[in-house]
Structure 1
């Protein structure tokens, strides 16, 4: 707690904000009443912190009461941050309608919309599967000249993926590439999930060509490679699996997820392609350390088909790997 003679309003505001983050509403109110008891007058910033702490603690009624007190005061009138806190707070409460109402209220009060507002609203609408409103807000933001954040781009793309619109997804990715926006692994994970669910591996292959054309590297490219390999493995298209693995590794990339490796191994077992499995394992061992779950899969597979020699070799490898 602050010293008795401490009157720094910013410190009180930060302390109340911290109470909100740990969702300790009673402590936040105690800090506020202690401040008043010491004769320290509250400010708009302190009221903002207190009402946001209420919203983080799911106490919207108290937050609204504080807002009414602010409206009727002369010393701590609501400001732009007050409305921002309500918009962000109702995002935390998953109430999209109230978020939009406070967004409208902010502008009616003469304050401009900002990036944080659009980030809250677009993400909230996508979570609520209100994709039309999310798109409308995104277009409104772009037309107002506000530069979107990476998080907004992630949410817009996720909304189009959840909507199942391949054309919209392709169009948006092309826009991102042409405008040199960052495309990260989370974005491509959503795209790969959509294309995989729809069986559109050709779309993934086309996207890989586009990535190559735009010299894309990093996590997004790896996610796309692994998504293609995973799809071919699930379909038991071993020729395509092996071509795709070779293509990925020729670009200096390798598997990151044991799950993807295990899907490929399972495909080899389903096809009874044990010699090809040996070659695959030999190839990836230089770049990928097999995990216990992967070894367990190999042990179970070889034991099931009675390949004792291969089973013994795997067991020896496990011991050497310290597993």
Structure 2
């Protein structure tokens, strides 16, 4: 096995000098062992600033003063990624420091080596990952599938597809570290990120053929790839297959992408199905797209359902405000004043305010069209109670409306209020 890795190192060095073999991936999901560290970002932020300021020659001594050698959760992926963006040499030195500590401690923990190799993937340095692997072998640690998966992931993230494929072949020929579902997922994710839908699907089929079930990571990679290529029917098929199998997405972005796809296709029925599936948890941008679609199609009932569901699911106040106000505008445009007032009351009870001043202006115009002046007074008083400040445009609308209605006293009151607030 050591001889096989020596061959791989030679292949890697050849690939580095032959740039035409390298492939760049815009996105690669990390494998099981590399992603989340419980190391707290509140600790890493000041450390990141300290490392950025420190000269290269003091990086390791700085780390020695900050951590004991058994700081298993350090370094975190977020810190390395941030540091690699502005100071890649320092990111390299951090992993090198960690490797030296593992050697000095005579550590025999396979998981720690696998994690360190995965961190090499974050800084896209396969050479360093192979050094970690060699050190592990020198410690007498027998490799296992997680270590090879980490090497494959690092190879792919650094653009060395040939090395990744060679590692997979080594795993296939072994007895103790056969490819597992993470091995297949690494290639599915990589090809999907490259936009190579055919290759990603081939690896997906190979994974199923090897007896591994389709999981969230594989499905999400395929859905992202299909949407990026505008293969919308295939994206729909994979997403619905995932839903049917009861597989929960491992990332929220795939749900957002699917919702945006259906909004683009103006397929409100599919939007509703997805919203039920994800229990209505959507971000603000997608929420606006869904609301715009419902408004364009005049689906007041669906907006009502969305208001209730978002309130019950604890969505952000910004997202809830978008839906509340959109429904209010729809009713105001239709002069359904009773519904407008109900919406206003429900929104304020929900602890949400108007998302834009134009919404207030539409409500005011609705009151004037319905000649509901007493109810308008109650609305304005309610706005004051909730500390809402009318805009100059709103005051102008009030003045013009009262003048048309021949309500001189009200008109004068508006003028006086405008002077008091500095609008006149």
1:206 matched to 2:305? The reply is no
Summarize deviations over 1:180-218 as a string: whole Å, max 9, x none: x6122436444213234xx223x1x11144458989724
Q: Does the CA-based 8 Å contact 2:280-2:313 persist in structure 1? A: no
Match of 2:152 among 51, 64, 84: 51
Q: Secondary structure of the equivalent of 2:102?
A: coil
CA contact (8 A) 2:271 2:290 kept: yes
Give the Å deviation of 1:268.
8.0
Q: In structure 1, what is the equivalent of residue 80 of structure 2?
A: none
- What secondary structure is seen at the aligned counterpart in 2 of 1:3? helix
Q: 2:121 aligns with which of 17, 20, 34?
A: 20
5+ unaligned residues in a row in structure 2: which ranges? Answer: 1-97, 400-413
1:264 to 342, 356, 359: 359
Unmatched tracts of structure 1, length 5 or more: 317-323
Match of 1:319 in 2: none
**Secondary structure in structure 1 of the residue aligned to 2:177:** coil
Distance in 1 between residues matched to 2:395 and 2:262, nearest whole Å: 43
Check conservation: 1:188, 1:220, Cα contact below 8 A.
Answer: no
- CA change 1:66–1:240 in 2 (3 A) is farther
Does structure 2 retain, via aligned residues, the 8 Å contact 1:225–1:248? no
SS in 1 for 2:178: coil
1: CA distance, partners of 2:203 / 2:327: 44
Shift of 1:107: 1.5
After TM superposition, the runs of 4+ consecutive aligned structure 1 residues lying more than 6 A away are 212-216, 268-271, 275-281, 299-303
Aligned mates of 1:22, 1:163 — CA distance in 2: 39
Contact 2:256 2:282 in 1 (8 A): no
CA distance in 2 between partners of 1:194 and 1:183 (Å): 16
TM-score (ref. length: structure 2): 0.54
Rg bigger for which structure?
2
Q: TM-score of the superposition, structure 1-length normalised? A: 0.68
Alignment RMSD? 4.6
Find out whether 1:140 has 2:241 as its counterpart: yes
Cα distance change of structure 1 residues 240 and 217 upon mapping to structure 2, 3 Å threshold: farther
- The residue number in structure 2 matching 1:321 is none
Decide which of 205, 214, 217 is 2:312's aligned counterpart: 217
Q: Could you tell me how far apart the structure 2 residues matched to 1:96 and 1:283 are?
A: 56
Conserved in 1, the CA contact under 8 Å of 2:328 and 2:344? no
1:52-67 alignment to 2 at 5 Å? 52-67=153-168
**Does structure 1 conserve the Cα–Cα contact (< 8 Å) formed by 2:197 and 2:225?**
yes
- Number of residue pairs matched by the alignment: 297
For 1:8-54, what per-residue CA distance to the aligned partner results, in whole angstroms no more than 9, with x for missing partners? Answer: 11111112223323545454343233333545443221110121123
Residue 146 of structure 2 aligns to a residue whose secondary structure is helix
Report the alpha carbon displacement of residue 133 of structure 1 after superposing the two structures with TM. 0.9
Comparing 18-27 and 228-237, the one that deviates more: 228-237
State how far apart, in whole Å, the 2-side matches of 1:261 and 1:245 are.
17
> Distance between the aligned counterparts of 1:155 and 1:285, measured in 2?
40
Distance 1:185 1:219 in 2: 11
Aligned to 1:166: 268
Residue 228 of structure 1: how far off its partner (Å) = 5.9
